[in-house]
Amino acid sequence: MPLEPILTVADLNRFLETDFSEVHTDGKIFEVIATGAGFATMRLDPQEKHLRPGGTVSGPTLFALADVTAYITLLAHIGPVALAVTTNLNINFLRKPQLGPLQCTCHILKLGKRLAVLDAAISELNSDELVAHATATYSIPPR
């Protein structure tokens, strides 16, 4: 049962801008760059304010990247109508990233009627060395 996205990358970026604009209060730093069967990928361009001493990207910024990408991946497959809510997010911080753009790819592990579970892999752009890895659960309202 292949799970195909029903929204395009352009749809998803439009949705980010119109319905989820609070992720952009700091400037347009989040961008959807790919989607496909069961997954989506975002790019984050961290700003000075997202850094911790030593120049590494802060934990809350990595958390936000994992959470937004998982949410976008879910919407890509169920459509923008649903108001899914994060109920649980478990994140492991693995390596300090260099300063520069990050990418996050999320895969759907389960898409049930009431719950969806996704994992999120964060690395530097075009690298496959993991910076952080997360698993998130979303509660999906009755459709």
For 134, the 3-state DSSP assignment is strand
Contact (Cβ atoms closer than 8 angstroms) between residue 47 and residue 105: no
Q: Is 27 in the site for a second copy (CB under 8 A)?
A: no
Interacting residue with a second copy among 2, 10, 25, 27 (CB under 8 A): 25
Q: Does 85 contact a second copy by CB under 8 A?
A: yes
| Site pattern 94..133 for a second copy (x: CB under 8 A) | xx-------------xx---xx-x-x----------x--x
What are the DSSP E strand ranges found in the chain? 30-36, 39-44, 51-52, 56-57, 85-93, 102-111, 115-124, 130-139
Q: How far is the CB of 117 from a second copy (least distance, A)?
A: 5
| b/e per residue 75-99 (b: at least 16 CB within 10 A) | bbbbebeeebeeeebebeeeeebee
**Is 135 a binder of a second copy (CB under 8 A)?**
yes
- Interface contacts to a second copy, rule CB under 8 A: 19-20, 22, 25-26, 49, 51-53, 58-61, 63-64, 67, 85-95, 109-110, 114-115, 117, 119, 130, 133, 135, 137, 139
